[in-house]
């Protein structure tokens, strides 16, 4: 179904086919007399979308700055063919730029979200269960990364492959560790926040039931990914501890979580970063993204400084 037809079903008229404002998935900014809106793909099928919206609406009712579906006359969210879309209000704000106060406030926001999670997965969000990586996958991905980096004069440290193969061996141990899980947006990155001036989460559509330290590891590794106004590197040690200071105002991590943190960080790199560097050759042609990848490898190989204090 064409984008023009989808937005029309939500009550937006226009002569031209709308163009996505995000290169990796359909996200359309639409205008009506009462204001601007975002039409975007969300979780599918519709039952999952409704569970997601119950979760985000509950957070919103508890005072968390997180986007919820716009109140429009059309059914929202709704399914078209094999995809489900939602209409959100457009939130006016400014993008993240890597300032210290922005990092601390982002930590406070995620801490509040985690602290408000129910003990059980009462919203029925998808449960994290990605513990099936193989050594062959790591070998193939590492070779792809080497090939992508070579034209830009970059040599990938062979220790990266060694650490990733080690992470493969740790999967079952992490799976059986009984790590504390929370309901969380699980895509808590700077490009999904706007500052109003407090951080406002504008894309919670990847929400799930996730081991809490996996969610933190994703922040450490990819908070600055895909945002032109962000630094072209992951958090520095100082920035990471600023984030944790804000986060720690609402959450006390357990001894077990702190003990499993190094393995969790390795696993999330394996799950979230490896494919990012291996699968999209075009990203290596972007100097900022290339610099981010290079710094990510360095962080990964020297992660002892990035603890959970």
Q: Which residue has better confidence, 280 or 207?
A: 207
Domain extent listing, the chain: 3-89, 100-305
The residue assigned the tokens 């939602």 is: 86
**Average pLDDT taken over every residue of the chain:** 96
Instruction: Report angle CA 199, 202, 208 to the nearest 5 degrees.
Output: 105
| CB contact at 8 A, 125 and 51 | yes
Torsion of CA 300, 304, 308, 309, to 10 degrees: -150
Give residue 221's pLDDT band: very low, low, confident or very high (50, 70, 90).
Answer: very high
Is 90 exceeded by the pLDDT of residue 309? no
Integer distance in angstroms from the first to the last C-alpha of the chain? Answer: 50
Is 80 exceeded by the pLDDT of residue 12? yes
pLDDT at 67: 98
Is 80 exceeded by the pLDDT of residue 15? no
pLDDT at 1: 83
% of the chain exceeding 70 in pLDDT: 100
Upstream peptide bond of 45 is cis (omega within 30 degrees of 0) = yes
DSSP string, 110-132: HHHHHHT--SS-TT-PPBP----
pTM of the model: 0.96
Give residue 24's pLDDT band: very low, low, confident or very high (50, 70, 90).
Answer: confident
pLDDT at 170: 96
pLDDT in tens, 159-211: 999 999 999 999 999 999 999 999 999 999 999 999 999 999 999 999 999 99
pLDDT at 276: 95
Is 90 exceeded by the pLDDT of residue 107? yes
Q: Which fold has domain 100-305?
A: Aminoglycoside 3'-phosphotransferase; Chain: A, domain 2 (3.90.1200)
Mean pLDDT of the 269-282 span: 95
Q: What is the CATH number of domain 3-89?
A: 3.30.200.20
Give residue 280's pLDDT band: very low, low, confident or very high (50, 70, 90).
Answer: confident
Measure the CA–CA gap between 236 and 105, rounded to whole angstroms.
16
pLDDT at 16: 85
Q: Helices marked H in the chain — which ranges? A: 3-9, 46-61, 100-115, 135-149, 159-169, 171-175, 212-222, 237-247, 255-268, 274-279, 287-301
Upstream peptide bond of 77 is cis (omega within 30 degrees of 0) = yes
Measure the CA–CA gap between 105 and 93, rounded to whole angstroms.
15
The residue assigned the tokens 């210290």 is: 100
Distance of alpha carbon 237 from the chain centroid: 20
pLDDT at 30: 96
Mean pLDDT of the 125-145 span: 97
């Amino acid at each position: 179904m064409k984008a023009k037809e989808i937005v029309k079903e939500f009550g937006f008229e226009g002569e031209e086919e709308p163009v996505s404002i995000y290169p990796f998935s359909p996200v359309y900014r639409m205008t009506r007399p009462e204001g601007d809106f975002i039409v975007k793909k969300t979780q599918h099928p519709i039952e999952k979308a409704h569970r997601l919206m119950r979760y985000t609406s509950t957070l919103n009712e508890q005072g968390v700055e997180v986007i919820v579906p716009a109140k429009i006359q059309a059914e929202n969210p709704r399914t078209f063919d094999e995809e489900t879309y939602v209409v959100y209000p457009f939130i006016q704000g400014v993008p993240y730029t890597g300032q210290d106060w922005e990092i601390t406030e982002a930590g406070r926001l995620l801490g509040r979200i985690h602290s408000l999670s129910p003990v059980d997965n009462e919203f029925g969000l998808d449960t994290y269960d990605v513990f099936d990586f193989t050594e062959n996958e790591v070998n193939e991905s590492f070779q792809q990364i080497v090939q992508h980096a070579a034209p830009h004069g970059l040599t990938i440290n062979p220790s990266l492959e060694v650490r990733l193969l080690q992470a493969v061996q740790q999967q079952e141990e992490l799976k059986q560790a009984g790590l504390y899980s929370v309901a969380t947006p699980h895509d808590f990155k700077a490009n999904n926040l706007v500052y109003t001036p407090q951080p406002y989460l504008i894309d919670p559509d990847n929400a799930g039931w996730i081991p809490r330290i996996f969610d933190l590891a994703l922040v450490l590794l990819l908070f600055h990914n895909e945002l032109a106004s962000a630094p072209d590197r992951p958090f520095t040690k100082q920035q990471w501890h600023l984030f944790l200071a804000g986060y720690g105002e609402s959450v006390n991590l357990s001894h077990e979580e702190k003990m499993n943190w190094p393995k969790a960080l390795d696993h999330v790199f394996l799950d979230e970063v490896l494919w990012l560097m291996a699968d999209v050759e075009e990203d290596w042609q972007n100097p900022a993204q290339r610099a981010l990848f290079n710094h990510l490898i360095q962080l990964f190989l020297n992660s002892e400084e990035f603890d959970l204090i």
